[in-house]
């Protein structure tokens, strides 16, 4: 019986990217509970081994359709990384579970009836871990030099990944990291619960003041979570963002713990401004500067 391509290390699909001679190869990584999550690998050339930068945005879901749309609609960040000598690719993962990180605790695995049993389902950042473990085996990827660039919820996922699984990546960029859960912010009076679903409504939170945000952080728990982080992190804010205080406090807590952390912020109207949308006419001057900062940071930390 022939092994399916995702078990033999082969892509399930390869397609060209407009305006580029570096195609997108789509892979399926087996998650910790035996399902599959898709990701892309693009390499600077056909020969050589390259550091790899994982690209992620927001909450999960969407699967291959989402992945293909983002490969083709937001090519600028990937082309810049490829030009700088990095393999890179978008990944997708399961949908966020509200407060799943807080309530579920570390993932514990044991055996039952000759198979596995878990204390909870894997979470979205653990799908990222599965992708990173899978791409580490790619013949053109230098598995000792993996990076992570995440925006919004995916920026928080970087903090979770670095905290729970030290060594998973060598460096990370957290752009507009929505670290409500990671910092265990006390928001009961600010985030009403939808009686229909039992889920919190956090879309309209105004958390721009770092002092106010700091007063709501569960500092003992945040300290415990930050302590294991062993990778350099570039935290990127966005001046007008309603969560700018969260972004800044996340950086300040890293520094307070002596971590290798850097802070930059720009004034830009687009949430996720480091991922310019091709249909909008390509990157503007601020977006070029922001991606310059990412490439420079990775040049220092993934060298």
Establish if 205 belongs to a structural domain.
yes
Q: What is the mean pLDDT of the chain?
A: 94
Q: What is the mean pLDDT of residues 152-172?
A: 98
Sheet with 87-90, edge to edge strand ranges: 87-90, 50-57, 141-151, 171-175, 233-238, 261-266
Establish if 6 belongs to a structural domain.
no
pLDDT of 202 over the 80 cut: no
pTM greater than 0.85 (yes/no): yes
For residue range 279-289, list pLDDT tens digits in order: 999 899 999 99
pLDDT-derived band at 3, boundaries 50, 70, 90: low
Asked if 148 and 166 count as a contact pair (C-beta separation under 8 A), the reply is no
Establish if 5 belongs to a structural domain.
no
Establish if 79 belongs to a structural domain.
yes
Number of domains in the chain: 1
Establish if 2 belongs to a structural domain.
no
Instruction: Give the model's pLDDT for residue 188.
Output: 77
Distance between CA atoms of 41 and 135, rounded to whole angstroms? 8
CB atoms within 10 A of CB 66: 16
Question: For 212-227, b where at least 16 C-beta lie within 10 A, e where not — what string?
Answer: ebbebbeeeebeebbe
Q: Which residue range forms the structural domain that includes residue 167?
A: 13-301
Instruction: Give the model's pLDDT for residue 53.
Output: 98
Q: What is the mean pLDDT of residues 131-139?
A: 97
For residue range 64-116, list pLDDT tens digits in order: 999 999 999 999 999 999 999 999 999 999 999 998 999 999 999 999 998 99
Establish if 295 belongs to a structural domain.
yes
Q: What is the mean pLDDT of residues 252-263?
A: 98
For residue range 29-64, list pLDDT tens digits in order: 999 999 999 999 999 999 999 999 999 999 999 999
For residue range 268-278, list pLDDT tens digits in order: 999 999 999 99
Q: Which residue has the higher pLDDT, 188 or 26?
A: 26
pLDDT of 200 over the 80 cut: no
Q: What is the mean pLDDT of residues 146-166?
A: 98
Structure tokens at 150: 């995440």
Distance between CA atoms of 66 and 75, rounded to whole angstroms? 14
CATH number at residue 17: 3.40.50.1820
SS3 string of the chain? CCCCCCCCCCCCEEECCCCCCCCEEEEEEECCCCCEEEEEEECCCCCCCEEEEEEEECCCCCHHHHHHHHHHHCCHHHHHHHHCCCEEEEECCCCCCCCHHHHHCCCCEEEECCEEEECCCCCHHHHHHHHHHHHCCCCCEEEEEEEEEEECHHHHHHHHHHHHCCCCCCEEEEECCCCCCCCCCCCCCCCCECCCCCCECCCCCCCCCHHHHHHHCCHHHHHHHHCCCCCCEEEEEECCCCCHHHHHHHHHHHHHCCCCEEEEEECCCCCCCCCCCHHHCCCCHHHHHHHHHHHHHHHHHCC
Using alpha carbons only, what angle is made at residue 147 by residues 47 and 137, rounded to the nearest 5 degrees? 50
Establish if 4 belongs to a structural domain.
no
Establish if 217 belongs to a structural domain.
yes
């Amino acid at each position: 019986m022939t092994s399916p391509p995702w078990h033999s290390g082969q892509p399930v699909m390869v397609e060209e990217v407009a305006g580029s001679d570096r195609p997108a190869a789509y892979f399926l990584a087996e998650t910790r509970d035996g399902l599959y999550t898709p990701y892309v690998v693009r390499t600077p050339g056909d020969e050589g081994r390259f550091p790899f930068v994982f690209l992620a945005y927001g909450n999960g879901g969407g699967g291959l359709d989402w992945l293909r749309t983002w490969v083709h609609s937001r090519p600028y960040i990937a082309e810049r990384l490829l030009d700088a000598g990095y393999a890179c690719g978008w990944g997708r993962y399961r949908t966020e579970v509200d407060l799943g990180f807080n309530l579920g605790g570390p993932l514990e695995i044991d055996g039952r009836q000759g198979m596995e049993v878990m204390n909870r389902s894997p979470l979205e950042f653990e799908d990222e871990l599965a992708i990173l473990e899978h791409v580490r085996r790619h013949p053109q990827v230098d598995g000792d030099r993996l990076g992570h660039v995440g925006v919004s919820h995916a920026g928080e996922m970087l903090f979770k990944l670095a905290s729970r699984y030290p060594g998973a990546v060598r460096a990370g960029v957290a752009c507009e990291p929505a670290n409500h859960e990671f910092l265990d912010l006390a928001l009961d009076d600010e985030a009403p619960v939808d009686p229909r679903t039992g889920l919190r409504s956090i879309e309209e939170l105004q958390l721009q003041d770092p002092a106010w945000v700091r007063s709501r952080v569960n500092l003992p728990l945040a300290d415990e979570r930050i302590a294991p982080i062993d990778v350099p992190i570039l935290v990127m804010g966005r001046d007008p963002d309603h969560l700018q205080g969260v972004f800044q406090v996340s950086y300040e807590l890293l520094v307070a713990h002596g971590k290798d952390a850097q802070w930059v912020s720009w004034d830009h109207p687009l949430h996720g401004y480091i991922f310019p949308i091709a249909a909008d006419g390509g990157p503007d001057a601020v977006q070029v500067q922001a991606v310059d900062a990412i490439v420079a940071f990775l040049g220092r930390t993934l060298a």
